[in-house]
Amino acid sequence: MKAVIKTGGKQYIVSEGSVIFVEKLDAEQGATVTFDEVLMLDGKVGNPYLANVTVTGVVQKQGKSKKITIYKYKQKSKSNRLKQGHRQPYTKVEITKIG
């Protein structure tokens, strides 16, 4: 059974037992998380979401990913060269139940 869920402004294809990395959620390690915004379940498409369908998962880990480097550059203007970066926080979730 496969489903498409929406969380953190992104869409994920999940199945039971799969592990996904999503935007940081306000939940502690070992907590149960429920995703109500299910877009598709086994070829059945919602408008925009399916009613009475939820996906449940368990939070395994929270942390920060590798550093992303961003370069901003304006041609012929040496003073405006800029290097920025950040580490995006994430939550690792294992999907336990779809239904």
Task: Express each pLDDT in 2-38 by its tens digit.
Answer: 999 999 999 999 999 999 999 999 999 999 999 999 9
Report percent pLDDT > 90 for the chain. 80
76 — pLDDT class (breaks 50, 70, 90): confident
Higher pLDDT, 70 or 10: 10
Q: What pTM was computed for the model?
A: 0.82
Q: Which whole-number Å values give the CA distances from 59 to 1, 2, 52, 71, 74, in the listed order?
A: 21, 19, 22, 34, 43
Q: How many domains does the chain have?
A: 1
Report percent pLDDT > 70 for the chain. 96
Flag the least confident range among 22-31, 33-42, 43-52, 66-75: 66-75
Question: What DSSP string describes the chain?
Answer: -EEEEEETTEEEEEETT-EEEEE--S--TT-EEEE--EEEETTEEPSSS-TT--EEEEEEEEEEEEEEEEEE--TT-GGG-EEEEEEEEEEEEEEEEE-
Range of the domain at 32: 2-98
